[in-house]
Amino acid sequence: MTRPGDYIRGADSVASRFSISRFGGPTTYRTSTVSVGITATRIVGNNPRRVQLTIFNRSANSIDLDYVSSVTANGGIPLSASSGVATSTIEDDGETVVAEIYGISSAASSSVFILEVLRV
C-alpha cells in the first residue's frame, strides 16, 4: 500500500505506464536554473534523450530564445518578463526538442527555471 508522498516508478505508476506508452519507455525529469545575461547564454545543451522541455522566465526582464548561439535581443522566440513560458515536446516539435537552446536577456542576471523530461 502506498501513502501520500510515496514516489512509485515502474509498472505500478500510472504516470510511468503513460510515459512508456507515449515515449516508448520510462522517463525521468530534472530541473535546473540558468542565469541569462545580455550576451548569448546556453540555456540547455543538446540531449537526444529529451522528450519534453519547459523554460520559465523567473526574472523581471524579457528574454529571447533561439536554437543558435547568435540569438539577438528582440530577434528570437520571446519569453516575456516574470511569467513567460516556452514548452517543447517531441510530439509537437519533433527534433527541435533535443537541440541546444540559447537565450539573451534585456538586462543582466535574468533567471530561467528549466524542467526537462528525459527518456531513460
> What does 50-68 look like in DSSP terms, one character per residue?
EEEEEEEE-SSS-EEEESS
> pTM for the full model?
0.86
Give pLDDT tens digits for 58-85.
999 999 999 999 999 999 999 999 989 9
Residue pLDDT, tens place only, 16-46: 888 888 888 889 999 999 999 999 999 999 9
Grid cell at residue 53 = 522541455
**Number of helices and strands (H, E) in the chain?**
2, 8
